[in-house]
Amino acid sequence: MRILVTNDDGIHCKHMIKLAELAKDFGEVWVVAPSSECSAMSHRVTVGRHLTLKKEPDFPVKGVHAYSLDGTPADCVKVGIQCVCPEKPDLVFSGMNVGYNLGRDVAYSGTFGAAAEGTMHGVKSIAYSLEKDADFEVPETFFREITEMLLKRDLASDEVWNVNFPGGPAEDIKGILFNRKLAAEEFYFNNYECEEVSDDETRITARYIFSESGAEGTDLGAVTQGYISISKIKNLVP
């Protein structure tokens, strides 16, 4: 299979490099990733200026065709499919995101936006995320098993698989929970502190506060209880 790999944390992010390494078990890997960090860009695309695509000959995973693009994650998928891959890819893998993509925060995620762009081109797409500051023990242990399962399962043309890996030792993972509902809360992007600098200016700081528990049946509930959470999420456009 031909696999297009991208992310929203940038071409040099170790999480995306790990995903490209793991993806090699499933076929030929083409990386098109943002040249700089592009978190919380959702499904944004670039208009009104040229995009610059550069080969990355020093990409640390051997045998991978790697390019950086000075655009958004969704741009990377568009360019990867239309301008880089010699033929339409069979899969889009997006991530591995630095931090969870859970609940309503998925709507802001550039990682999910890139996967959603893949579905709009008729390509089965999976978004992967890992608990912030975790090592790679859990995805290294479970990535192949989970991906093989997802490739065998039905997925509608307007749906994306959203996978969240907890951190910690792989032996502590309690299992895999499918069809998790998106938790109702926003965890990272709805906490603001306002400080008046002057009569005419207010400094607003976003505080990324993560909830430590979630309702049963939700993606947040799964990961906080030590499970890998897998959800089907509908794209806005079929």
Judge whether 219 lies within some domain: yes
Check whether 208 has a pLDDT greater than 80. no
Q: How many domains does the chain have?
A: 1
- Examine the pLDDT at 148 and tell me if it is beyond 60: yes
Asked, for residue 98, whether it belongs to a domain, the answer is yes
- Domain assignment present for 191: no
Residue 196 lies in a domain: no
Question: In the prediction, which pLDDT does 139 show?
Answer: 97
CA distances from 168 to 140, 188, 194, 223, 228 (A): 12, 21, 35, 11, 12
Q: Tell me how far apart the alpha carbons of residues 120 and 236 are, in angstroms, rounded to a whole number.
A: 9
Tell me the pLDDT tens digit for each residue of 161-200.
999 999 999 999 999 999 888 887 666 656 788 999 999 9
What average pLDDT does this structure show over 51-57?
Answer: 96
The whole-number average pLDDT for the span 28-54 is: 94
- Is residue 208 assigned to a domain? no
Establish if 44 belongs to a structural domain: yes
Distance CA 179, CA 73 (A): 25
Query: What is the model's pLDDT at position 231?
Result: 93
What does 32-86 look like in DSSP terms, one character per residue? EEESS--TT-TT----SS---EEE-TT-SSTT-EEEEESS-HHHHHHHIIIIISS
Looking at residue 173, which CATH number applies to its domain? Answer: 3.40.1210.10
Percent of the chain clearing pLDDT 70 (strictly above): 95
pLDDT grade for 207, boundaries at 50, 70 and 90: confident
Indicate the helix (H) or strand (E) that contains 234.
strand 227-234
What's the rounded Cα separation, in Å, for the pair 46 and 129?
24
In a domain, 204, yes or no: no
Predicted TM-score (pTM) of this structure: 0.93
The CA-atom distances, in angstroms, between 122 and each of 25, 95, 164, 182 are 22, 19, 23, 24
**How do residues 82-118 score in pLDDT, each as one tens digit?**
999 999 999 999 999 999 999 888 988 999 999 999 9
Per-residue pLDDT reduced to its tens digit, 115-140: 999 999 999 999 999 999 999 999 99
CB 195 within 8 A of CB 119: no
Q: What is the chain's mean pLDDT, rounded?
A: 92
Q: Alpha-carbon distance 11 to 68, whole Å?
A: 6
For residue 220, tell me if it sits in a domain. Answer: yes
- Print the domain residue range for 113: 2-182+214-234
